[in-house]
Amino acid sequence: MKDDSTYAKKFTTLIKKICKAYKHEEVIQLEPTTQIIISYLEWNATNALALEAHDQIMQAMVDNNDIRVSLPDEIVSLIGEDYPLAHERACRMHETLNELFNREHGIVITSLKGKNKKQIKTYLETLPGVTPYVVAQNLLLSFGGHAVPVDEHMLALLKDEMVVHPDCTLAEAESFCERHIKAVDALESHLAMRAWADEYELMIPDPTPDSAPASDVRLTEPASTASDSNKKTSKAKTSKSSSTKSSSNASASKTKTVKKTGTSKTTKKKAASKKATK
């Protein structure tokens, strides 16, 4: 990333404030395929939306293999047309799960047992349809690797806080975060960053054309909804969440629970009544 040293101190200061403001209560390690599904639902959305969407899907499905054999339009019908990037994420998830099945001859990932972190990362990165956020979150949560998941929404907020270069790409941002967040602090930092980002109105990308990589999508302002009044806007750009789903229905027994314990300089309003990540 350009001017890495210039932004390093600012970034470290922001992360310290965020980690102080948001403390996680529990982290339950999930079976990797389940985590992949939740990561797809959380990518360029929020943790609360992802948990609610996953609950809705599982109410209609028997197991993860049932999700795999379902058409993307069926998944969209369950999570709602108004879910951020609903069609794109459903198509990506469908492609990834079917490749998993081809590799594993089943829906449970068993071939990575005994593999090192580099091999695991390569396995995840080569899954068709997968996004950098899904790779990083699964490497961190399912396999204990050193990763700091960043999606386009988070990147926009980091740019807004002026802690990364304005022209920083998604790949550069992830690499920058990993260089300045130690492996031992990666989990705490991720949970705090996720909770912090979830308090802001979504700055989500346009649906990605089939020929374009996910990192090339352009951020856009989705249509306004009634739930937008509970979300903060970034200082650099105001955008509205495209989803009307309420975060209040998120299950309390999910993998991650994050609570706000202080008020950082960047926080102005409370966004959701419950925060938890699988």
At 247, give phi and psi (nearest 5°).
-80, -5
CATH number, residue 146: 1.10.340.30
Per-residue pLDDT of 154-183, as tens digits, reads 999 999 999 999 999 999 999 999 999 999
Q: What pLDDT sits at residue 19?
A: 96
Q: Give the separation between CA 227 and CA 116, rounded to whole angstroms.
A: 43
Q: Give the separation between CA 125 and CA 132, rounded to whole angstroms.
A: 8
If one counts the domains in the chain, the total is 1
- Region 25-35: mean pLDDT is 90
Q: Return the bridge partners of 256, or none.
A: 27, 277
* CA 186 to the chain's CA centroid: 14
**Number of neighbouring beta carbons within 10 Å of residue 20:** 12
Q: Return the bridge partners of 27, or none.
A: 256
Per-residue pLDDT of 78-128, as tens digits, reads 999 999 999 999 999 999 999 999 999 999 999 999 999 999 999 999 999
The closest alpha carbon to 206, from 226, 223, 220, 192, belongs to 220
DSSP code of 205? B
- Region 236-245: mean pLDDT is 38
Task: Note the helical H segments in the chain.
Answer: 4-21, 32-42, 47-60, 64-69, 72-79, 86-104, 117-125, 132-141, 152-160, 170-180, 186-197
Burial class (CB in 10 A: 0-12, 13-18, 19+), 49: buried
Percent of the chain with pLDDT over 70: 72
Read off the pLDDT band of 239 (50, 70, 90): very low
Q: Could you tell me the residue range of the domain that residue 159 belongs to?
A: 4-277
At 41, give phi and psi (nearest 5°).
-70, -25
